[in-house]
Chain A
């Protein structure tokens, strides 16, 4: 796939989906969560939110390396040829209070019903700075996109 084609496919996938699987680890033990996410148009950042009392938050504070899986499967047989999945990897960190405003704007545009949740002082606004995407389509076609 051409780079522009990949970027378009990723952009469509990321904007069409609401939930992603977030992978973290706890001293080597893998851990996965569903999170409501949003992505910037340049695909470089994936946004999600979590209360600071959660395991995923503790895991990321200890080690920010994380992966996020976004896919468009519909739980039908046709998924095998039709569905697309993208895994984004990179460090995920809490957004500083001074950077919260653009974060909130982007995130709430996609998930307006989560306003109370993300505005709570105990909720951390997180962003994963994507270093690499691994895009899987047509069952086993795998393409990587490296963002420097």
Chain B
């Protein structure tokens, strides 16, 4: 047998760390004459050997040390995890390691289906329940596929979830290891889980069962029947039947949900004597282990087989912990489909309708009291949509990730973000806005009299066709002076829109980035799946991802239009208060404006404003950032003057050929993209708006650069390397050269 594999019967106490908790528990169960599946363990040494031989150990460390972990957002952690996973996918086992393993696995399982289950030694010793942080793959067939899935299980040592809980797990790139347990797949007619002690009543045990594979229960996709059994008497104290409408069944590759056959719907998966039998075995096992146990089992030919056993442990995380929320953003395809329906058929039409209805109201005709009420109502409407945004729109973005994983698993591309090529060139609202903007700019470009009139501030004399186009633009997208789409007149003086248009008109229009051959990529993706149901499903995931990609940008614009209506009412209020002689109205909150409108004697308080003045850097003089590291967000290399945007009102100063440097780009800001030579953002992630718009225009982009708006000042000469994810400060404004 390969020195990297072991049978359960060969395991001794000293091998616990080599096979992890799950592998060792199976060996102990077998020793107690409790039936377990035929199982081979891939030792943790195999993982180490693989890492050392492929050079991946240092690559993982390089990936995880690009920036301080505390500076990484969840999205960046997900990105890092995706890149690491892709390293495992694109690096096969060295042949001299793989061959003996393959020979043994072939002799043992042949073409019988197996499960590849993570069994991390760290997870075992962590003392808390980390179930689900690492992956397991059900129904894997053939040695080649088994070895590939072993690599995927290894990769899951670095899953986003595991990285989030790395401290509790003691996860360290230099030391952490992963064993893999490979049991034959026992496709029993029914399966379930069992806790030998219920949290609410220590004299009872709880048992849950479903028809079909356990996968359905563990994933939460199938509702189980539940029994409470007295530990001493083994008497069934209660049975709560489930709806019993579907079951998980082995499919070509993995498991899938299918409708439950009629004859199974009416009866519980377990008869009373079967409940007792499992309970009795579990309690015997618990008495050997000495602590309450959490077990998985199935039935084969009328006899229970135990698939897993581990101590019942405390749950992870505290209530103020954000990590659980982040992980709840990982959604299943079914969940995302439902979310899509809700968003497309419900939310978006409502948002459009609501913004339009609000816009139709004549604010000027309202009395002060009515206006105060209107301001409050609009603020409430706005808040409601913001909460919908967090509850539904943000989780929906996971559709892109779901597709990315499917794509990478199927094609194992060198570039883990190749899949983005299939999503780009979607009809984004922000791109539609930019197209309209360009057509206005081209009118100015082709008629110099329009430009000169605009420069003189004679906007209304620019000609009827230009005026009509301009009115249409403002009606749809606002005058670009507000931090939200659809807002108007947020700043005094020359409208931002005109300044941007004149700047655009002075330069040739920017062509959108040459889109990679989407069709070719799409065909290659679909060809990777067997014709029929699998391919159809792959197509559905792609379709979902495209919607997810589009909505990730569009939702901000729709939300902006609602917010713009709130702003409009507040502006009207401020205008009236100014007429009363009140000062500094720009700094008052909507609520203060409403109060002052209701009560002529009320003096509104100014809200504290925190703002970094653009172009003034707070950098200390003795140190200077020369080369800043982020993540590659869009390929390409650009050199130019930095324009650091600390405040939306400054976007109008943006000049052609400058590099947009920003804390966080949102789609309401990306109208400067056609002028920009590159994009740099403090916020990190491959799927953030800055990166999306940069790729759409073929602009070099680096994201996730900590403190970039402090370390770079407007006017600095910088280079953006979108391949390596680095920003070099060549020459600082007012300072000497970088050399």
**CB atoms of A55 and B739 under 8 A apart:** yes
Q: How far is the CB of B632 from chain A (nearest CB, A)?
A: 8
**CB atoms of B721 and A51 under 8 A apart:** yes
B103 within 8 A of A: no
**CB atoms of A51 and B726 under 8 A apart:** yes
A26 within 8 A of B: yes
Chain A contact residue count (CB 8 A cutoff): 17
**CB atoms of B59 and A53 under 8 A apart:** no
B126 within 8 A of A: no
Which residues of A lie under 8 Å from residue B59 when comparing CB positions?
Answer: 112-113, 115-116
Known contacts being A53-B728, A122-B637, is A113 close to B723, with CB within 8 Å?
Answer: no
Q: How far is the CB of B144 from chain A (nearest CB, A)?
A: 23
Q: How far is the CB of A140 from chain B (nearest CB, A)?
A: 35
Q: How far is the CB of B7 from chain A (nearest CB, A)?
A: 33
Known contacts being A54-B627, A55-B739, A58-B739, is A122 close to B724, with CB within 8 Å?
Answer: yes
Q: How far is the CB of A126 from chain B (nearest CB, A)?
A: 16
Which residues of B lie under 8 Å from residue A117 when comparing CB positions?
Answer: 724
Which residues of A lie under 8 Å from residue B739 when comparing CB positions?
Answer: 26, 55, 58
B613 within 8 A of A: no
Measured in the bound complex, the distance between the Cα atoms of B54 and A111 in whole Å is 11
Measured in the bound complex, the distance between the Cα atoms of B58 and A117 in whole Å is 13
For A104-126 the 0/1 string (1 means CB < 8 A from B) is 00000001110111001111000
**CB atoms of B728 and A54 under 8 A apart:** yes
**CB atoms of A112 and B724 under 8 A apart:** no
**CB atoms of B723 and A122 under 8 A apart:** yes
**CB atoms of A121 and B726 under 8 A apart:** no
Nearest to A123 among chain B residues (CB) is B724
From B62, B635, B721, B728, contact of A113 by CB (8 A): B62
Known contacts being A51-B721, A120-B723, A122-B637, is A112 close to B728, with CB within 8 Å?
Answer: no
Measured in the bound complex, the distance between the Cα atoms of B728 and A116 in whole Å is 19
Measured in the bound complex, the distance between the Cα atoms of B738 and A79 in whole Å is 36
B55 within 8 A of A: yes
Q: How far is the CB of A58 from chain B (nearest CB, A)?
A: 7
Q: How far is the CB of A106 from chain B (nearest CB, A)?
A: 15
Measured in the bound complex, the distance between the Cα atoms of B726 and A57 in whole Å is 15
Q: How far is the CB of B680 from chain A (nearest CB, A)?
A: 14
Q: How far is the CB of B408 from chain A (nearest CB, A)?
A: 16
Which residues of B lie under 8 Å from residue A52 when comparing CB positions?
Answer: 637
Q: How far is the CB of B627 from chain A (nearest CB, A)?
A: 7
**CB atoms of B55 and A53 under 8 A apart:** no
Nearest to B56 among chain A residues (CB) is A113
B616-639 interface (Cβ within 8 A of A):
627, 635, 637
B215 within 8 A of A: no
**CB atoms of A53 and B723 under 8 A apart:** no
B719 within 8 A of A: yes
Known contacts being A53-B728, A55-B739, is A112 close to B721, with CB within 8 Å?
Answer: no
Q: How far is the CB of B276 from chain A (nearest CB, A)?
A: 56
A4-35 interface (Cβ within 8 A of B):
26
**CB atoms of A51 and B58 under 8 A apart:** no
Measured in the bound complex, the distance between the Cα atoms of B507 and A67 in whole Å is 46
**CB atoms of B723 and A112 under 8 A apart:** no
Measured in the bound complex, the distance between the Cα atoms of B55 and A113 in whole Å is 6
Measured in the bound complex, the distance between the Cα atoms of B724 and A116 in whole Å is 8
**CB atoms of A112 and B726 under 8 A apart:** no
Measured in the bound complex, the distance between the Cα atoms of B637 and A19 in whole Å is 27
For B712-724 the 0/1 string (1 means CB < 8 A from A) is 0000000101011
Known contacts being A112-B55, A113-B55, A113-B58, is A122 close to B627, with CB within 8 Å?
Answer: no
Measured in the bound complex, the distance between the Cα atoms of B632 and A122 in whole Å is 12
Which residues of A lie under 8 Å from residue B58 when comparing CB positions?
Answer: 112-113
Nearest to B718 among chain A residues (CB) is A53
Which residues of B lie under 8 Å from residue A53 when comparing CB positions?
Answer: 627, 637, 719, 721, 726, 728, 730
Which residues of B lie under 8 Å from residue A55 when comparing CB positions?
Answer: 738-739
Q: How far is the CB of A100 from chain B (nearest CB, A)?
A: 15
For A46-88 the 0/1 string (1 means CB < 8 A from B) is 0000011111001000000000000000000000000000000
For B41-63 the 0/1 string (1 means CB < 8 A from A) is 00000000000001111110010
B592-648 interface (Cβ within 8 A of A):
627, 635, 637
Known contacts being A53-B726, A55-B739, A112-B55, is A122 close to B62, with CB within 8 Å?
Answer: no
Known contacts A53-B721, A115-B55, then 9 further A-B pairs from the complex at CB < 8 Å, ordered by chain A residue? A26-B739, A52-B637, A53-B627, A112-B55, A112-B59, A115-B59, A121-B635, A121-B637, A121-B723
9 contacts between A and B (CB under 8 A): A53-B728, A55-B738, A112-B54, A112-B59, A113-B56, A115-B59, A121-B723, A122-B721, A122-B724
Write the residues of chain B forming the contact surface with A, with a CB cutoff of 8 angstroms: 54-59, 62, 627, 635, 637, 719, 721, 723-724, 726, 728, 730, 738-739
Write the residues of chain A forming the contact surface with B, with a CB cutoff of 8 angstroms: 26, 51-55, 58, 111-113, 115-117, 120-123
